[in-house]
A and B are shown apart, each in its own frame.
Chain A
Amino acid sequence: MINFLILPILIPLITGVLLIFAAKRILLQRWIAGLSSVITIIFSALLVQKVRNDGIQTLDVSSWEAPFGITLVSDMMSALLVLTTSIVAFACLIYSFWSIGEAREKFYYYPAFNFLIVGVNGAFTTGDIFNLFVFFEVMLMASYVLLVLGGKKAQLRESIKYILVNVISSALFVIAVAYLYSVVGTLNMAHISVRISEISQEVQPGIITVIAVLFLIIFGLKGAIFPLYFWMPGSYYAPPAPVLALFGALLTKVGVYSITRTYTLFFYHDIGFTHQLLSILAIMSIIAGVIGAIAYWDVKKIIIYNIIVAVGAILFGISAMTPDSLSGSIFYLIHDMIIKAALFLLAGIVIAIAGTSDLHKISGLIKRYPGLGWTFFIAALALAGIPPLSGFIGKLLIVKGGFEAEQYWGAGIVLMSSLLVLFSIMKIFINGFWGTPRAYKTEDKVPVRKMMIAPVILVFIAVLYGVGSEYVYPYISQAAETLANPNIYIEAVLKEY
């Protein structure tokens, strides 16, 4: 059981490699990918339970002791995110069976899918800053393939922009690691944290603040925060629904996780400047996101801009740095991964039925597809944070933490944003589902019932997550405790400190 925490990385990796050999046998690919996805969920759930019982799990790869080798660390936050990733991946996978099309399936769709999960799970689990870079690249490389697979004109065009932005941000990541290495002389995250607190006993040196801002720029580019989200609406518009759901649920959240990790583990000594900056950018992201979300009459665009709102809300909670706001952010992060995937999958069904994503051309879907309509309605309410559902507790805690940290404007804007988010998503519901039913050319070919399985599972989990938040809360607060007190993390990794 000692290598337990590597399994969520290893299983998709082996699956991805195996699937390359079975490229042309679609049914076999589906079975292998589906089975390995279920196994990954089981092991991630066991990992969460193990972290709950025994505290932070660490694994020194090849038994090189902590600062010298690569250490994988599973604290509660990363274990929960790995579990959520596995669930979202499973849902997107079974949705792909009926929607992605044979042409893509034969050209290494499932291997690329699995490698994406390897990258995401690895980025959540690693305890080494350069290894984080490598897992980012694994994830991004797979995402380039998934984005361009199919080769439509829009996909080619948007892939060029997406790759360019990510090449630049990866180069910046290398530069930032180089700066940090020259200051602290180590790459292990826990050890970096120790070294930084040694040199910032009285006052944090300017260079650490500069590196902190550089990291914010890098992870902000990946996670689409305010001035750096420009690439996202276009790039996320291009790929098909299951890929879009994976991207929307996982990729930006890895950036958010990395900001959280670095800002709670490394740069917590002088929170006056860096966390203030983070808080301002988070609030600006919320504002930019809601403006986009209410401006568009396009199903995909509205949900894409809602990603930016959610990223802003989570980062606002992180920047407040109170125990409440931290647990609120983790709550909201997990909720948002599940519900964004569900919404993109539902939007994918709507677009498949209507043959367009323009809201002016869709109406009356609830007459013919009541199941789809009501599932979308519940997902919309959960997104906005209506009390019994999953978005509520997270936002409540974020707002509470914001008030405790005396950031009244920020907390008020988080509250106000819920209203506009609700408006933007209800715009889809009212215009798309109400009104007179229309006949669409392509709708008979769409296997709506089968495609509904995945989003129904996700919405069901989201409802359980909201209703059973009492049972989830101990896990979340354990995660927040590690974030609020980095020494727990450091002691788990570097045994002698």
Chain B
Amino acid sequence: MEILMAFVIGILFMSATYLMLSKSLLRIIVGTGLLSHGAHMLILTMGGLKRGAAPLLGEHASSYTDPIPQALILTAIVISFGVTAFFLVLAYRAYQELGTDNMDRMRGTEGND
């Protein structure tokens, strides 16, 4: 199971890298979304995909899945939500102000001469 997950995560990272190297800003943000999906699934996988009950003590099971990675993922998810929301609004503002979403045309020249 872990090997399958590793391949899936690898494909996610590959797509994320490809998208983040493109010119359009929206594609880049979609890429960051895929990258954080990959990172979150990686935490889950690296914590071990052993079979066990959901980490609820009411289940009275003999073994549970590891609760730590789930807590880490939850933290990482809300953080990446916050950052992505900020990034999207920033992209919207930048589109209004600069009139382009093409990263090639977002060059600055001040101070470079």
Contacts and interface: CB of A to CB of B under 8 A. Distances in A.
Contacts of A167: 32, 35-36, 80, 83, 87
Contacts of B91: 160
B5 to A, nearest CB: 12
Interface string B29-67: 000100110111011011110000000000000000000
A464 interface: no
A64 interface: no
B103 to A, nearest CB: 8
A163 interface: yes
A141 B83 contact: yes
B32 A160 contact: no
A173 to B, nearest CB: 9
Contact of B32 (A153, A158, A168, A179): A168
Given A154-B108, A174-B39, A175-B42, A163 B86 contact: yes
Contacts of B42: 174-175, 178
A156 B83 contact: no
Identify whether the interface residues of A are mostly helix, strand, loop, or mixed: helix
A171 B35 contact: yes
Contact of B93 (A156, A158, A175, A300): A156
A171 B28 contact: no
A182 B82 CA distance: 27
Nearest to B113: A297
Contact of B98 (A157, A168, A175): A157
Nearest to A301: B111
B46 A182 contact: yes
Most chain B CB within 10 A, of A160, A163, A164, A357, is at A160
Interface residues of A, number: 39
A157 B47 contact: no
B72 interface: yes
Contacts, number: 104
Contacts of B48: 182
Contacts of A177: 43, 72
Contacts of A134: 75, 79
Contacts of A357: 111
A163 B83 contact: yes
Given A156-B93, A163-B87, A130 B75 contact: yes
A234 B110 CA distance: 9
Which of A140, A151, A157, A158 has the most chain B CB atoms inside 10 A of its CB? A157
Contacts of B40: 174
A163 B68 CA distance: 28
Contacts of A473: none
Given A171-B39, A182-B47, A156 B94 contact: yes
Interface of B: 20, 25, 28, 32, 35-36, 38-40, 42-43, 45-48, 68-69, 72, 75-76, 79-80, 82-83, 86-87, 90-91, 93-94, 97-98, 106, 108, 110-111
Given A151-B93, A167-B35, A177-B43, 11 more contacts: A158-B108, A163-B86, A163-B87, A163-B90, A164-B28, A170-B80, A171-B39, A178-B42, A178-B46, A182-B48, A296-B111
11 contacts: A134-B79, A141-B86, A144-B86, A153-B98, A157-B106, A167-B83, A171-B36, A181-B47, A181-B68, A181-B69, A237-B108
